[in-house]
Amino acid sequence: MRFLRSFVLLIATAATLASCTGERMIMRKGERIIFFGDSITEQGVKPNGYVTIVGGDLKTRFPDLGIEIIGAGVSGNKVPDLQKRLSRDVIERKPTTVVIYIGINDVWHWNLNNIKGTTKEGFESGLREIIARIQYSGAEVVLCTPTVIGEKRDSSNAQDAMLNEYSAISRKVAKDRGIRLCDLHSAFVAYLAEHNVENKENGILTTDGVHLNNEGNKLVAKELLKYFSR
């Protein structure tokens, strides 16, 4: 298994496309887009969720393309969990594009009792493997930075410093792999700096400091939709 993973990483590295971070993705007939992540993505398929919003927008703009939207979020998941179910929930479904939105639990779980987060080394190496295997399958990848754990705008949330480090890892991996980066963390920080005038812990973009409310889902969808065009 270790040899197989190393082989896949080697082949995919050789086949990496030139950097296209920030460029729009051309939608073609038969697009199948999978949203891969944790509970935020699991909830994202609800009527007001970001997955539903993105899918509705794309299908309205491109009704003739037969775009298929698939949510593959599982509550509590971290990068190692995505590695374990990548084949079943993503590769075997033969997507054309995979949106990876992960990282909150990898950080947040370090602050919970009787559970551990993901080390920075494990987070980075896991992301690299996931992306390499998806690229090797022939699909495009959009990697999202993790959003927020607490909404205070003055950088006083308990895990802000660690979340910034993990967001930086995601940015680095996206650049190294030549894939599109959707920097949700920066988008959320900017939004909260402007709109959270009372420096609340939650209630602006999330229900509990982590899980998205309607405005949070709208913001995520808005940022992601920048990457899809005719």
pLDDT for 20 beyond 70: no
Check residue 114 and give its pLDDT: 85
Q: What confidence score (pLDDT) does residue 230 get? A: 57
Q: Is residue 14 part of a domain?
A: no
Q: Domain range spanning residue 30? A: 26-146+160-183+214-229
pLDDT above 60: residue 11: no
CATH code where residue 164 lies: 3.40.50.1110
Confidence of residue 201 (pLDDT cuts 50, 70, 90): very high
CA 9/CA 12 separation, integer angstroms: 5
Asked whether the predicted pLDDT for residue 8 surpasses 50, the reply is: no
- pLDDT(86) > 80: yes
Residue 195: inside a domain: no
Residue 2 inside a domain? The answer is no
65: pLDDT strictly greater than 50: yes
Residue range 130-159, pLDDT digits in tens: 999 999 999 999 999 999 999 999 999 999
pLDDT above 90: residue 18: no
Decide if pLDDT at 162 tops 90.
Answer: yes
Q: What is the mean pLDDT of residues 168-185?
A: 97
Region 176-193 average pLDDT: 97
In a domain, 30, yes or no: yes
Nearest to 12 by CA among 131, 98, 121: 131
What's the mean pLDDT when you consider all of the chain?
Answer: 91
Q: How many domains does the chain have?
A: 1
- Does the residue 151 lie in any domain? no
Q: Cα separation of 205 and 103, whole Å?
A: 17
For residue 78, how far is the Cα from the chain centroid?
Answer: 11
